[in-house]
Amino acid sequence: MRFIWNRSLQHAVESMLVVCGLVSIVAVAQEYPTRAIRMVLPFPAGGGSDLVARIIAQKYAQLLGQQVIVDNRAGASGNIASEIVAKAPGDGYTILFANSSMSISPAIYKSLSYDPVKDFTAVSMASSYPFALVAHPALPVKNVKDLIALALAKPNALDYSSAGTGTMSHMAMEMLRVKTGANITHLPYKGALPSTVALLTGDCQVSFVVMPVAAPNINAQRLRGLGVAAKTRAAIIPNVPTMEEAGVKDHVALQWNGLFVPSKTPANIQDRLYRDWVLALKAPDVIQKIRAEGAEPVGNTTAEFSAFYKAETLKWADVAKRSGTKVD
């Protein structure tokens, strides 16, 4: 039997190849995810960022169609968790839910086993809230100017607490010191809770505290609010001025958190992770739960989050250099 090849047959074969190609592309796109996703957190369970991560992870799992396992790997200002994800295969099954400490680490550690900017793609911010500068009520200061004047008159006579060296509560005060010349002694604690307890009991006099903790203590007059480290006042404590209103220009310190993936992760997987991340953050129940934790949900674009993250990294590098902050 003789096989006859003509233009009609050629067109039919080409059409079949195109269809098969499209089916293959769709199949590849639908392959991810086919198993559980591990979301690594650089902080212990129970804190504010951990609670936000778990709220999002629950909705995220529903949208992705696979379990999202929250894996807390605290330690070394987040470097343990970041290293785990940086060295992961980049297949979308190991992702990082990092916070603001990630933008500080490259400035204060002599050497890291990963590059916080080059080795990661900042996919989208989850939430953020500002720090507030607060004082123990027994300290004879009414505002930021009083505090600076007292610190200048009595160098190192005042103590401030932080959640640890290299944390945002530490760097926010170092920023204040380099901007004003005020010398206040640093008392690092192992976490935000003991740092706040030290302030409430009078073991130290001042501190930068995250808004969800600062606001109720200010409103209950257990602490005195001096300034909000944000561009606008906080609605929950409207009578407390911003740091700029209080006389310290460009003093902004935010506790933010968000989704990062290894930069080697394929674009189609990054797109899928981004799409469902934003959908999760737009869900009314997720918004309500995150706001109940005192944070504000964000869900910005990858370009916006990447630009913000790079700017934060440069800002805290400058503060670390000027203040001499290092971790040996």
What tokens were used for 123?
């996919």
Sort strands 185-188 and 159-162 into parallel, antiparallel or unpaired: parallel
CB 85 within 8 A of CB 301: no
- Give the angle 97-102-104 at the CA atoms, nearest 5°: 160
Confidence (pLDDT) at 317 = 96
Q: Over 60: is that where the pLDDT of 137 sits?
A: yes
Closest of 24, 44, 185, 36 to residue 101, by C-alpha? 44
Q: Over 90: is that where the pLDDT of 30 sits?
A: no
Average pLDDT, the chain: 90
CA distance 276 to 272: 6
Kindly list the structural domains of the chain, giving each domain's residue range(s) and its CATH number in brackets, ordered by start: 31-128+255-323 (3.40.190.150), 130-228 (3.40.190.10)
Residue with tokens 């008159």: 153
Residue 94: burial class (beta carbons within 10 Å; 0-12, 13-18, 19+): buried
Confidence (pLDDT) at 252 = 97
pLDDT category of residue 39 using cuts at 50, 70 and 90:
very high
CA distance 45 to 61: 19
Sort strands 94-99 and 254-262 into parallel, antiparallel or unpaired: antiparallel
Confidence (pLDDT) at 156 = 93
Average pLDDT on 144-167 reads: 95
pLDDT category of residue 110 using cuts at 50, 70 and 90:
confident
What tokens were used for 324?
């001499």
CB 205 within 8 A of CB 159: yes
Q: Over 50: is that where the pLDDT of 20 sits?
A: no
Confidence (pLDDT) at 172 = 97
Task: Convert the pLDDT of each residue in 203-247 to its tens digit.
Answer: 999 999 999 999 999 999 999 999 999 999 999 999 999 999 999
Q: Over 90: is that where the pLDDT of 111 sits?
A: no
Q: Over 70: is that where the pLDDT of 268 sits?
A: yes
Residues 6+ apart with CB under 8 A from 138: 202
pLDDT category of residue 278 using cuts at 50, 70 and 90:
very high
Average pLDDT on 100-122 reads: 91
pLDDT category of residue 192 using cuts at 50, 70 and 90:
confident
Confidence (pLDDT) at 75 = 82
Q: Over 70: is that where the pLDDT of 6 sits?
A: no
Confidence (pLDDT) at 216 = 94
pLDDT category of residue 2 using cuts at 50, 70 and 90:
very low
Task: Convert the pLDDT of each residue in 49-70 to its tens digit.
Answer: 899 999 999 999 999 999 999 9
Q: Over 80: is that where the pLDDT of 26 sits?
A: no
Confidence (pLDDT) at 8 = 53
For residues 21 and 166, the model is more confident at: 166
